[in-house]
Structures are given as structure tokens and as C-alpha cells.
Structure 1
Amino acid sequence: MTAISRRMLAGLLGAAAFALTSAAAPPAGAQVKSLELIAPANPGGGWDQTARAMQTALQQAGLAASVQVQNIAGAGGTVGLAQFVTSKKRRGDAILVAGQTLQGAIITHKSPVTLNDITPVARLVGEYEILFVPANSPIKSLGDLLAKLKSDPGSVSWGGGSIASTDHIVAGLIAKAVGVDPARINYIAHSGGGEALGAILGGHVTVGIGGYGEYQSLTTDGKARVLAITSEQRLPGVDIPTLREQGVDVAFFNWRGLMAPPGIRDADLKVLTDAVARMVASPAWKETMAKRKWTDLYQPAGEFAAFIKEDRAKMEGVLTDLGLAK
């Protein structure tokens, strides 16, 4: 065999190997050229944090050329939901960050627009809630808070997100668990995490409730005292006692997910779902999950659609029990 024929054979074998490898590898998927992430609340809260974390992860992973975040606050997210449905219909370049709080707001506000009117993309993350007070609060423990609550329910003001949010539900569940009528709780609603935090640390409410990942810096910066967390058991590396270990039989888990506009084309939806699936597997997203102490609850579109229906039924039952829905 001549030198030329050996080189030719090597080239042919290399080409064949490349073809086999390419055929076996999964398609990279189309890059999203431009994407708008809608957080239906003011900056600072969980939806906003999720949207901005996605913005960073999608761009760092090269999955989107341009990502913008827009905040549309009001009525527990239902204002943003309604605008999303009317202004983004059939578009393939927009995603709404949704969650359990929005599900609750839809029920309590009797919103004519529901999650059934938009298109599931994926469930993303979950988060436990914490109870906390300013560092200078006379309340030193969960026991102090519960004693005050039982003595005079109206004297305890609970600061958190919107009416029927996960924060509101946790306050109601705690009251019910210790024998206080949930309808008597004094809940002060806020339209975003930043606004709520200002009220809580400013002493305008007795106790704050919010996502652990959202407010985790409070455990180390000395500005607040964390009384409890809603996890079933203590989280690894997190020195916060659970409600259950302090005698309150309540455990609660929030979730956040992504929705596309109504009428989106199948091809556009596939681009979005593929981009999200690849983002979830990216180092940037995994780093954010660890930093924020979020729990991975990823579900692809089909499973997420079934989950939304189950969650709606569960939320209706909980809100009815707490006197927040009829």
C-alpha cells in the first residue's frame, strides 16, 4: 500500500468515525435568539430572583443570545398573568415565571384568566419558608410568638407576599395547628420581596414569612432572628429548627415553574423547552441552585401540566379550610 493510499484510508476512517459520533450525539437544539422573562411581582421576590437567575444561566450556557426580565406586579401575580395572555399570545419569545402563590391568587381573586389559559414549559424549583423577626424584636423564639398569637391573634401581624400567597398560607396553617382560627390572623400583604423585607426589618410587622433562598442572608448578617423553617426536617448545614421539632405540625413546600403564551407554535415551544432542559443541566444553574438553597423540582412540560391540575385542586382545599376561598 502506497503512502498516498494509506493517507486516503486514514481520512476515510476519520470521516466515518465522525459521522457515527455525530449520528449518536443528541442534537444541540436551536439557540433562543431573544427571550423576555416576565416576573409577575416587584423586584426582590422569588419570581424575580428565579427570572434573573435564568437570565444569567441561559446566557452563560450560550442557550439564548438576549434575555430581558420584566416585572409586572399586582394582585398576587394575576395582573402580570392577564397581560401575558393578552400581549404575548402565539409568541415564542416570552416566558412567565409562575408558582404556587399565583395559583392561590387566581383562586382567591376569582381571576377569569388561569394557568389553564397558558402553556406549561417546565416546573423548576421548590423552596421552604422561614419565619423571622428583626434582631431587636422582643420576640426571641417561636414559643414567644405563639404565646402572643394565642393570647391575642390580632396583635401578631404577619408580613409576607400577596393575599393567598404561600406566606399567607403558612401563617394560616400555623394558626390552625395551634388552635387559633386562621380567619383571625392579621396578615399584611406586600407585592414583592423587597417591599416585604423593608416592612419586616423596619418593625412595621411582628414577624416575617418568606422563602429561605430569598432571605437566607438574614441567617448570617445579624439583621434578623430566624425562628423556624417549614421543612419536614432540618436541612443539611442549615442551623434553623423546623416548626415540627418545636411542636407545630406544619410542613410546607413552595414551587416555581415556567409558562409560555397561549397559542404558541409547537416548533417554538420545543425550542423553549429544550433550552430550559439544557439550562437545568448547566453548571451555572447548578451553582445558582446551591447558592440559593433551592430544591430541584424539574418536570418537563407534560408532567408539569398534570401537576398543575393536581396543585389547583389541593390549593382550593387548603384555601377553603383557611377561609380564604369559598
Structure 2
Amino acid sequence: MRRDTFLKSLAAMAAAGALPNLAWAAANVKMMIPANPGGGWDGTGRALGEALRDAKVADSVTFENKGGAAGAIGLAQFYNSSKGDPNAMMVMGAVMLGGIITGKPPVSVTQLTPIARLTTEYNVFVLPANSPFKTMKDVVEQLKKDPGSVKWGGGSRGATEHIAAAQIAQSVGVPAAKINYVPFRGGGEAVAAILGGNVTIGGSGYSEFQQYIDSGKMRAIGITSGERVKGIDVPTLKEQGINVEIGNWRGVYGAAGITPAQRDALTDMIVKATKSKAWQEALVKNNWTPALLTGKAFDEFVDRDFSSLRATMVRAGMA
């Protein structure tokens, strides 16, 4: 029997409950990370890979980074190269949905197989340490005077930090279409631009900026959560009179064309991985909020988020 046929048979049997004690130790997972190294998707994918190994549901995990266009380039490559592969997975999230809405790529995430939402992370806005601005109030005052003079740096067009910047502008009476947003292909590029003073203010998940905040190279001035996040000493935007709250969730999808039994098997692998010590340590280290959601509930969540993001981006002139 061919190995891929054997694995597919195991997947079907496991999903049917015929193999209750069998771990997926033979699985060699291929993880597509549709972003450059150093960002939130990269961190999520690699932490998930370690968790899969720690939970003994994968014998090995290989990673491929393919950044650009809010994940659309990696998405297209994953779709074309992994059809029917029961051991292939791709990291994705709210940023990809926003990129699909704005960029309208030839391949949509809806053509893949939803597996699970993993985490939610709120965006934090930061200034370089030597910025003439000290607070979000300073940035807002300049934004009101001259919107174009404030350069917002972050992920691809349509990323949650892009949407948050537009919502901040709207909240303080500035047309969202006037914001000067500079997109970057990955977290590493955004960090370099912020530290180099090439943008006025940067936005991303807290985990991407944490080491620079802790070292004093960046000053955190606002977070997009509804209330203070445990372990993160950053004031919310709402505390500062800016009525904006938005979370950046991340999840994982399987390849196009896999069977329901194979989807169930992948889901089972992910659930086991999220219970591992390695994953729990990653949540704490990165200040990620666990938000596991699978099956029909995850499908419906993605549909709702697509609709909500599209409505917000249309109002902001971004779609």
C-alpha cells in the first residue's frame, strides 16, 4: 500500500473512532506560512509546529514562508501545490480576509478547508523611542492638523492594524480615506521601518513588538482591546477617548479537496496540540489569548467576520 493511501486510511479510521489510542506519530506535516519570517503568522505557525510535535501527533513539521499581498501569494501556492494532501496546513487569519476583500486575488481562502481558529491578539500601536510624539493624544492632534503627515506602518493593506488606523481616524473626526498607511510584507520589515523612523507610528500584535517595547526602543501608546490585557501595561484606545476595539485572530486551514474524515483528523491533531505544554508556553510567551474554535462554529465565524470586515472597509473607503 502506498504511504499516502495508508495515511488517508488512518485518517478515516481515526475520525470514525476506530483507532482511539493511535497517535499521529507518523504524520509529516507541511506548514505553509503565507508571510515573511518574523511576523505573527510566522510565530503562530512555528509555535503550532512545535506543539504538534510535543503532543506527539506529528513526527515532523516542515515550514515554508511565502509572503506578500496579505498572504495571497502563499495562499495561491498552497492551493495549487497541496490539493488533496491530508498533512498540509496553512496559517491564516483576519489579515488574510482583509487582503482578499481589498486585493480580490484569484484564489480565496474559501476554496480551502477550514480547520480551527487558534488565538486572538490585539493590536498595539507604538512610537520609536526618539519620536517627538509621546502619546496617542499627540498623534491624534497631528492627524487632525495634517492627516497625510502621519505615516501609519503595519502589515499588508487590509490588515487589522490598517482597519484600526482607519477607525481611529473616523473616531476623531478625520476621514479614513485620508490616512497615510504604509503596508509591509512582514513583521520584520515593519519593525525596521519603525525603528528607523521611516513611519510615524506602527501597529501590530503585541508579540511582534514586545522585545522592542521591553528594551525601550519602542514606546507603546495604545492597544485595541476593550479593556486592559493581563500582563500588558498599555492603555486601551477606549481609555483615551477613542472608541475603537478590534482583535486580530489567527487560525489554520487544510488543503483543498481533502475528505471530511481527513478534515476531522486534522482537527483532532490541532485540538491535541493546543493542549500541549509547548502551546501553553507559547500563549504565555506571546501574550496570545486562546480562542480555539473548530467545525461548523469556525465555518460560521469566518463567514460573519468576512461580512463584518467588508462592511467596515467599504465605509472606510478601503474596498
Q: What TM-score does the superposition give when structure 2 sets the normalisation length?
A: 0.91
Q: In the alignment, is residue 318 of structure 1 matched against residue 312 of structure 2?
A: yes
What's 1:269 paired with?
263
Name 1:217's counterpart in structure 2: 211
| Pairing 1:133–2:158 present | no
Partner of residue 201 from structure 2, selected from 207, 210, 222: 207
Shift of 1:26: 5.4
Q: Equivalent residue of 1:245, what SS? A: helix
Alignment partners' CA distance in 1, 2:53 and 2:221: 37
Q: Name the CA shift for 1:302/1:265 in 2 (closer, same or farther; >3 Å).
A: same
Matched with 2:167 is 173
Give the match's secondary structure for 1:91: coil
From 290, 297, 303, the counterpart of 1:303: 297
Distance 2:68 2:239 in 1: 36
| Alignment partner of 2:38 out of 44, 49, 54 | 44
Gaps of 5+ in 1: 1-22
Q: Which residue identity is paired with 1:106?
A: I
- Write the mapping of 1:1-326 to structure 2, written as runs, cut at 5 A: 27-325=21-319
CA distance in 1, matches of 2:253, 2:231: 33
Alpha-carbon shift at residue 28 of structure 1 (Å): 4.5
Q: Deviations over 1:238-295 (max 9, x none)?
A: 2211111111111111101110111113343232111101011111111110111101
Change (3 A) 1:139 1:236: same
Asked if the contact 1:42–1:73 (Cα under 8 Å) also holds between the matched residues in 2, the reply is yes
1:31 touches 1:271 (CA, 8 Å); kept in 2? Answer: no
- Normalising by structure 1, what TM-score? 0.90
- For residues 199-242 of structure 1, give each alpha carbon's deviation from its aligned partner in whole angstroms, at most 9, with x where no partner exists: 01110000000001222223311111111111111112322111
- For the residues of structure 2 that align with 1:112 and 1:70, how far apart are their CA atoms? 21
Q: Once the 2 structures are TM-superposed, how far is the Cα of residue 32 of structure 1 from its aligned partner?
A: 4.9
The alignment-based identity, stated in percent, is 44
Aligned to 2:221, what secondary structure does the other structure show? strand
Higher mean displacement: 200-209 or 215-224 = 215-224
Partners of 1:39 and 1:125 in 2: CA distance: 16
Q: Could you tell me whether the CA contact under 8 Å between 1:76 and 1:105 is conserved in 2?
A: yes
Contact 1:156-1:207 within 8 A present in 2 as well: yes
Stretches of 4+ aligned residues off by more than 2 angstroms: 25-32, 265-271
Contact 2:23 2:56 (C-alpha < 8 Å) held by counterparts = no
Separation of aligned partners in 2, 1:249 and 1:31 = 48
Does the CA-based 8 Å contact 2:153-2:184 persist in structure 1?
Answer: yes
Instruction: Quote the Cα distance in structure 2 between the aligned partners of 1:74 and 1:180.
Output: 29
Q: Distance in 1 between the 2:205 and 2:280 partners? A: 18
Could you report, residue by residue, the CA deviation over 1:164-186 in whole angstroms, capped at 9, with x for unpaired residues? Answer: 11111111010010000110100
- Separation (CA, whole Å) in 2 of partners of 1:267 and 1:110: 31
- Aligned residue for 1:132, secondary structure, equals strand
* CA distance in structure 2 between the aligned counterparts of 1:148 and 1:32, rounded to whole angstroms: 57
Alpha-carbon deviations, 1:57-113, whole Å to 9, x = none?
111222211101111112111111111111111111210101001001111111232
Gaps of 5+ in 2: 1-16
* Equivalent-residue separation in structure 1 for 2:276 and 2:22 (angstroms): 13
Whose radius of gyration is greater, 1 or 2? 1
Q: Which secondary structure state, in structure 1, belongs to the residue aligned with residue 126 of structure 2?
A: strand
* Residues 153 and 180 in structure 1, CA contact (< 8 A), matched pair in contact too: yes
Once the two structures are superposed, residues 111-160 of structure 1 have per-residue CA deviations (whole angstroms, 9 ceiling, x without a partner) of 23212100011110000001101111111111111111100000000000
1:34-71 CA distances to partner (integer Å, 9 max, x unpaired)?
11111111111111110011121111222211101111
Kept in 1, the 8 Å contact 2:126–2:201? The answer is yes
Q: Is the 8 A contact 2:24 2:58 kept in 1?
A: no
Q: Which deviates the most, 251-260 or 30-39?
A: 30-39
> Is the CA contact 1:125–1:256 (under 8 Å) kept in the aligned structure 2?
yes
One-letter amino acid matched to 1:301 = G
Distance in 2 (CA, whole Å) between partners of 1:263 and 1:218 is: 42
